[in-house]
Structure 1
Amino acid sequence: MSTESLLEIRDLSVAIPTETSTLRAVRGVDLELRRGETLGIVGESGSGKSMTALALMNLLPPAARRSAACVNFAGADLSAVSEKELAGQVRGRKIGMIFQEPMTSLNPVYSIGRQLTETMTLHGDVSVAQARRRAIELLEKVGLPDPGSRLKQYPHELSGGQRQRVMIAMALMNEPELLIADEPTTALDVTIQAQILHLLHGLQTELGMSMILITHDLGVVSRAADRIAVMYAGDIVETGTTGQVLEDPRHPYTRGLLECVPGYREASARRLGSIPGVVPSMTGEIRGCAFAARCSRAVETCFTESPPVRALGSARTYVCHDPEETPGRLSPAEPPVARAAATRQDQDCVLKVEGVSRSFSVRRGMFGKRKSLKALDNVSLEIRKGEVLALVGESGCGKSTLTRTILGLDIPDSGSVTLAGRPVGELPPRQRARMIQPIFQDPYSSLNPRKTIGDIIGRPLQVNQVGARGEQQARVRRMMELVGLPTRVFNSFPDQLSGGQRQRVAIARALILDPEIVICDEPTSALDVSVQAQILNLLLDLRDELDLTYLFVTHDLSVVGHLADRVAVMYLGEIAECGDRDQVLAHPKHPYTRALLDSALTIAPELDVPEPHLTGDFPNPMNRPGGCPFHPRCPLADARCRSRVPERERSTDGTLVKCWKAGDAGGVFSQLAKGQALDAVPTPENNKEESAP
C-alpha cells in the first residue's frame, strides 16, 4: 500500500433545505485516503455515511448545498470542477460506485450487456466491440459462469449475488482509481457476502485501486478495511487503523456499537450492550456534543460545549470531552440471561413437523411448459415449550415456505404439522391465530400506515372479540409497556416512529393474544446493530417473562449463537443438520454447516477476508441435483454422494445430520483454509462404497 494520498477532504458540509428548517446531513467532515488503501466508514442509519460519498461526486439532491475547504482527488480539487467535467471525466471513469441495492440500480428494461458497454463507450474513445470484450473479461473475473451469454440477460433473470457481481463489473469497466462500495453485502446471504468481499479484495489488489467501504456491519469492516472512520450525526467522531479502533475504542459511541454486536468479547449468555435513543434529526444547530443525550458518561460540559479533537499519533483521532476519566462500558453490565436449554429436553413439544413436503407447479413464460418445484422435501422438526429454535440457510432454501406451512397458510402435499397435539389444518383460523403468531422482517411494510399504533396492536383483540373496548385499550397499554414503547405513541402513526420502535409494535401485536409460539422471520436484519441489540434483548426478556417459544428464522450466525437453544440448518428444502446450538456451531457435522460458519465474519481485525470454500450459486429448485442435493458445491462429494440420497442419522452428541460424510467436514475445511490440496485429505472408511448404486 502506497503512502501517497489519493483523496483528501477538508471541512465537507452538506445542507438540505426542508419545508420548516435545514437538514445538516454532513457537518465539517475531514477524511484522507491513500492509494491502495481501504477506508471503512461505519455508523447507524442517518449518520451521514452515504451522503458523504454522494457529496464527493456531487450526486446530491438539486436543493442540497455542498461546501468544502477542499475535495482533492488525484491532484484535482473536485469542489471547483464543473458538472460537465465531473460527469465526463470523474464519475464512472476515475471514481466508480457500487450502490446498496443492485436491483434498483440496474435498469430493468436494458440487457446486462448494454448497461456494461455503455458505461465504457460513454466515457472513452472505444468501440462497442472493445467494450463488449472488456465486459466479458470482467464478468468472468467476478465469477459469473458463461459470461458471453450473460450479456443478453436482464437483471430480473439473475440472483441477488449475481446482480451484485454485475454492479461490481460495471463499476470497474473503466479501471477507476477509487471504488466506493455503499453497503455492498447488505441483504445478501452470508456465503454470497464472503464471496463478494473476497472478490473485491482480490480485484483491489490486482488493479491497485483504493476503496471506500460504507457499512453498518462491523464484522465486514473489521476484515476488509485498513482504516476506519466512525460517523455520528454527520460528523467523524473517531478514526484510526482497524485494529486501533476495534480493539481500543476511545469514543463512547464506538464502544457502544461494539458492545451491541453479539459475541464481541462477551459470553453469548450475557445480554448485549445497548445505546438508548436514536440519531438526532440534525435540523438546526447542534449545541455541545451530538452524542451527549445518548451517552451515560456525559457530563455538563458535553451539553454546552463542542468536544475537542484529540490526537493519538498522526492518523488516530477521536472527538470527546471525557476520554479516560470514566472508562468502561457505555451501558452498565447486565446479569447473564438465564439459559435453560439442558432442562428443555423434558419440556412438552408444542410444535411438531413430520415428513412435510411441498411442491409448486411453475411455468416459465406465457407458453412455457409447467415444471414442478419442490420447495420442501420430507422436513421434520420439533420445538419444545420455552425454547428458541433457529432456522438458518441461504435464500431460496425453503425457510419461508416452511414457516407459511407452520402458520397454516400453505397446505403440504404430504406430512403433518401439529400444534399442541392438534393438526394445524384442523384448527379454526381464529384459534390458530391465537396459538401461533409471526413477526415479519420489515416492520414498516407489515404495519398499516393509516392506523394508529394503538389500533394496530389492538386489532387482534378486536378481530377475536376479546373483552370490551376499555379492556382492550388497557391490555394494549400494558403490552406497550412490556415491550418498551412509551404510551405517548399510542395515537401516533408508523411513519412517526423509528425502525426499532416499529419492530416493537410488531412484537406487541404478535404477543397481544398470548400465543403458544412466535415465528420471528428475520426480525433484526433490516435494523442497525444498536437497534438489533435492543430487540434481541427484548425478545430474550419476553421469552423468560412470558415463557414464550420462538422459531427464529435468520441468516446471521452471530445472532444464532446469542439467542438460540437449538439450530436447524436448511438446504434446498431439506434439514441438513439439527441439534443443540453449542454442538452445531462448535462441532458442525454437515459440510454445508461448516461452510456457513467459515463464511460468517466475526470482529477479528487481525484476520483477512476469508477465502470462500463454498463456491457456486444456490441451485435452481426446479433442477434439483441427484443424490445428495449439496454434492455439486461440496468439496467432500464422491460417487456415492452423487448417486444416493443420504439418510438422516443421529450422531453420538444427539445432532441429527443428513450426510454420507458427517463429521469429516472439519478436517477438510481446515485444510482448505491452510491452502492444502484436497488430495491430502484422508479417505474415510465409508468411501470404500463410493461406487455403490
Structure 2
Amino acid sequence: MNMASILDIQDLSVDIPTDSSTLHAVRGISLELNRGETLGIVGESGSGKSMTALALMNLLPPAAKRQASCIDFDGSDLTHATERELASKIRGQRIGMIFQEPMTSLNPVYSIGRQLKETMTLHRKVSDTEAENRAVYLLEKVGLPDPASRLKQYPHELSGGQRQRVMIAMALMNEPELLIADEPTTALDVTIQAQILHLLRELQQEFGMSMILITHDLGVVSRAADNIAVMYAGDIVETGKTGEVLENPRHPYTKGLLECVPGYKGQSQQRLGAIPGIVPAMTGDISGCAFASRCPRAAGVCRTTNPPTKKLHQGRYFVCHEPDVEGRGLAAERPTASERTVTSNVRGTEDILTVDHVSCTFSVRRGMFGKRKPLQALDDVSLTLKKGEVLALVGESGCGKTTLTRTIMGLQAPSTGSVTLNGQRIENLPPMDRARMIQPIFQDPYSSLNPRKTIGEIIAKPLFVHGIGSNQEQHQQVRKMMELVGLPSRVFNSYPDQLSGGQRQRAAIGRALILNPEVVICDEPTSALDVSVQAQILNLLLDLRDELDLTYLFVTHNLSVVQHMADRVAVMYLGEIVECGERDQVMSDPKHPYTHALMNSALSISPGESVPDPGLSGDFPNPMNRPSGCPFHPRCPLADQQCREQAPGPELIDNTLVQCWKARTAGNQLKS
C-alpha cells in the first residue's frame, strides 16, 4: 500500500451458498483508493458493486463467506478486525455510507434529530448538546433551510431530496475518512441529482474525505469520479483514470455500456447499441470469460480459458483475450444511422389528442382534524399530441405529470377544461372504447404485472376483458405480440419473477399494445432499468412506433432519453406547462429559466467537467402553498417585482410556447 492510499483491497471474494451450488458474488477483485479522491464503481445490476462495498465493513448476509489477502484501510487490515471493533471504531465513524433509498434507510418512527444525534453519541463520548450542534451545523452544510427546526421533523415530512441530504449529514456526523455512496442519486430528479453531487464534491473537498461512488449512471461517474472500475459478474474488467477509460475503453463490456447511453459522443440520431442477455449468476465451477456469451467479439478461447489481465500503464488495466483488437464493441451488431434514425419522417399534422385549458383541484385535509384546503395540481394546461409523434413531458416530482396523464386517460375528471381524443371528449367515451384507444406503460414492470399470472395470461388479459377472439385466436395474437416485442416463446408459461427486468418491461409493452391503441402513455418506462436494458427498450419503442404507427406521450426526467426519443418537449412546473416546443429548440435554446436549469443539470458523459450547479435556490414548493405571481419566482435568479406579483401568460417565441416575463432575454442573461 503506497503512502497516498487510504484503501487497498487485494483478492477480495464473496461466496454465498445456495440450495444447489455456491454463488460467486465477488471474484478475487483488487482495488486501490487514494486519499481525497473518488473511485467510481459502475456496472449492471448483479455485477457485485454493492456487495463489494458491504464486504469492506463485513455487512454481508449471514451465510456469505468473505475472503481477501488484505483489506488495508489506513494501515489497518479489516480482514482481521473483530465484529466489535468494526461496529465501534469503523462503521459510521471512520467509514460512512449513504444508501440508495433514503426513505427505507431512515427510521420512520424516530425524528431526524434523534437519528442524527444517535449516530454521534454511539461512537463518541459527547454530550447531547454537542451532538445537536453538530447535527444543526451539518444540516445547514447540506443546504436544508432552517436546520434547527428540521430536528423535530420525521422522514415522511421531507421530500426525497431533503431525505437524501439528511442521509449525507448522518454519514458525516463523525467526520469519516471514507464515504461510500451507493447509488445516492438514482431515485432523484435531475436538478436534485446535480445538487446532491455538487454538494458531495464540496463536502469532500472541505473535509478531505475519500469517496467510493457506486452507480450505473455513466454520466454521474464521468463528472464525479477521479478513477473508475468497471464491474461485470463479480469481477473488475477494466480500471483506470475516468477520462482514459471513458474516452478510450478497451474491454468490450465498457464499450457496450457506453454505446447504450443516449447522446454518447453526440450520436443522438443513431440507434442505440444494446448488450444482449443479462449478467449471469456466477455459480459452480467457472471457466472462460464471463462476458463471452454476450460479446460479439468472443472467440473459442474466450469460452474455455480465463482472460489475462493486461496492463497499459500504472493504474490502467483491463481483462480480455482481445480476439479482435480492432472490433468496435457492440456497435457492429446494430444498424447504422442511415438504416434507422430516431426522428420520424412520417409524423402527421393531425392532432390525435388535445388537452384544452385543463385545471384540476383537490380538497386536502392536513391531519385528522385539520381544515380542508385546495390543492391545485393542474393550472390551465393546454397540449396537443400529433399522430405518430413522441411528445416528452418533463419536470420535477410533484409538478403534476402523473395527474395530467391520469386526466388524459380519463381516470381523473378535470375541474375545468376538456380532453379530446380523436375528436371525442374523453368523458363521453365508454371505458372499454377508451381503453382500446389509449394505454399506459408503467415505470416499474415488476409491480405492474400480476405475479400470479403467466406472461401469456398477462398479455392476453386485455383481449379476454374486451371479448376479442376465441381462446385459440387470443393465443395466436399473444404469440405474435411476444415475437414483436422480442420475448422468446419459452417464457409464455413463465411468471414475472422468472424474467429479467428488461423482459418484464417487454411483457408490459406487449400487454399495452395488444389492443392496437392509437396513443401510448409511457410513464418513466426505463428509469428502473440498467443502461443496457434501457437501450433495448428505447430501441424497441421506436421500432414499434414506426411499425405500428403509434403515438407516444413520454413522461421522464432523463433528459438524454428526451434528446434521443422526442419530437417535441413540454416542460411542467407546479401544475403549469411553462415551455413547449420542438425538441432541438427547447433543449439547445431554452427560453424559460426553469428549462435552462433542467438542461444545466443534465449529466452527459463529459470526463473532466465538473458537476454542474443548477443555479436553483430552495426546493420545489408545496402545491398547498402556491407562490403569488409566477410560480417559479422563489427559485428564479432573474425574478423581479413583476414576477412576484403577476402571473405571466403564454407567449409564442420562435415557435416555442413559453410562460415567463423574462423569456426574450432569459437565455442571454443566464448564459452570461
TM-score range, shorter chain: over 0.9
For 1:48 and 1:640, locate their aligned partners in 2 and report how far apart those are by CA, in whole Å: 54
Matched, 1:156 2:156: yes
For 1:68 and 1:289, locate their aligned partners in 2 and report how far apart those are by CA, in whole Å: 22
* Structure 2 counterpart of 1:514: 516
For 1:335 and 1:250, locate their aligned partners in 2 and report how far apart those are by CA, in whole Å: 22
Q: How many aligned positions are there?
A: 668
Matched, 1:656 2:643: no
Is the 8 Å Cα contact of residues 613 and 669 (structure 1) preserved in structure 2?
A: no
- Structure 1 counterpart of 2:568, one-letter code: R
For 1:3 and 1:666, locate their aligned partners in 2 and report how far apart those are by CA, in whole Å: 48
Is the 8 Å Cα contact of residues 27 and 235 (structure 2) preserved in structure 1?
A: yes
The aligned runs of 1:185-204 (5 Å cut-off) are: 185-204=185-204
For 1:177 and 1:323, locate their aligned partners in 2 and report how far apart those are by CA, in whole Å: 42
The aligned runs of 1:69-468 (5 Å cut-off) are: 69-322=69-322, 325-332=325-332, 333-336=334-337, 337-338=340-341, 344=347, 346-468=348-470
Deviations for 1:57-81, whole angstroms, at most 9, x for unmatched residues?
Answer: 0000111110000000010000000
- Structure 2 counterpart of 1:44, one-letter code: E
Q: Could you tell me how far 1:257 is from its partner in structure 2?
A: 0.2
Question: Partner of 2:529: helix, strand, or coil?
Answer: coil
Identity of aligned residues (%): 72
For 1:608 and 1:131, locate their aligned partners in 2 and report how far apart those are by CA, in whole Å: 33
Deviations for 1:357-399, whole angstroms, at most 9, x for unmatched residues?
Answer: 0011111110111111000000000000000000000000000
Question: Partner of 1:131: helix, strand, or coil?
Answer: helix
- Structure 2 counterpart of 1:145, one-letter code: P
* Match among 565, 568, 573 for residue 566 of structure 1: 568
Q: Could you tell me how far 1:668 is from its partner in structure 2?
A: 2.5
Q: Could you tell me how far 1:323 is from its partner in structure 2?
A: 6.6
* Structure 2 counterpart of 1:670: 671
Q: Could you tell me how far 1:340 is from its partner in structure 2?
A: 5.4
For 1:282 and 1:625, locate their aligned partners in 2 and report how far apart those are by CA, in whole Å: 55
C-alpha root-mean-square deviation of aligned residues, in Å?
Answer: 1.1
Q: List runs of 5+ in structure 2 lacking aligned partners.
A: none
Deviations for 1:627-661, whole angstroms, at most 9, x for unmatched residues?
Answer: 1000110111111111111010111x211111111
Q: Could you tell me how far 1:610 is from its partner in structure 2?
A: 1.2
Q: Could you tell me how far 1:282 is from its partner in structure 2?
A: 1.2
Question: Partner of 1:446: helix, strand, or coil?
Answer: coil
For 1:14 and 1:311, locate their aligned partners in 2 and report how far apart those are by CA, in whole Å: 25
For 1:273 and 1:57, locate their aligned partners in 2 and report how far apart those are by CA, in whole Å: 37
Q: Could you tell me how far 1:327 is from its partner in structure 2?
A: 2.5
Matched, 1:556 2:558: yes
For 2:596 and 2:656, locate their aligned partners in 1 and report how far apart those are by CA, in whole Å: 14
Is the 8 Å Cα contact of residues 54 and 60 (structure 1) preserved in structure 2?
A: yes
Is the 8 Å Cα contact of residues 134 and 173 (structure 1) preserved in structure 2?
A: yes
Is the 8 Å Cα contact of residues 296 and 331 (structure 1) preserved in structure 2?
A: no
Q: Could you tell me how far 1:669 is from its partner in structure 2?
A: 2.4
- Structure 2 counterpart of 1:84, one-letter code: R
- Structure 1 counterpart of 2:144, one-letter code: L
TM-score of the aligned structures, taking structure 1 as reference length: 0.95
- Structure 2 counterpart of 1:471, one-letter code: E
For 1:251 and 1:389, locate their aligned partners in 2 and report how far apart those are by CA, in whole Å: 36
Matched, 1:16 2:32: no
- Structure 1 counterpart of 2:8, one-letter code: E
- Structure 1 counterpart of 2:243, one-letter code: G
- Structure 1 3/646 Cα, relative in aligned 2: closer, same or farther at 3 Å? farther
Q: List runs of 5+ in structure 1 lacking aligned partners.
A: 672-693
Matched, 1:52 2:52: yes
For 2:650 and 2:72, locate their aligned partners in 1 and report how far apart those are by CA, in whole Å: 61
- Structure 1 573/190 Cα, relative in aligned 2: closer, same or farther at 3 Å? same
For 1:212 and 1:340, locate their aligned partners in 2 and report how far apart those are by CA, in whole Å: 39
- Structure 1 218/3 Cα, relative in aligned 2: closer, same or farther at 3 Å? farther
Is the 8 Å Cα contact of residues 41 and 214 (structure 1) preserved in structure 2?
A: yes
Q: Could you tell me how far 1:335 is from its partner in structure 2?
A: 3.0
For 2:262 and 2:659, locate their aligned partners in 1 and report how far apart those are by CA, in whole Å: 29
Is the 8 Å Cα contact of residues 297 and 326 (structure 1) preserved in structure 2?
A: no
Q: Could you tell me how far 1:342 is from its partner in structure 2?
A: 6.9
Question: Partner of 1:664: helix, strand, or coil?
Answer: helix
* Structure 2 counterpart of 1:43: 43
- Structure 1 280/447 Cα, relative in aligned 2: closer, same or farther at 3 Å? same
TM-score of the aligned structures, taking structure 2 as reference length: 0.98
Q: Could you tell me how far 1:665 is from its partner in structure 2?
A: 2.5
For 1:66 and 1:340, locate their aligned partners in 2 and report how far apart those are by CA, in whole Å: 50
Deviations for 1:513-532, whole angstroms, at most 9, x for unmatched residues?
Answer: 00010000000000000000
Question: Partner of 1:312: helix, strand, or coil?
Answer: strand
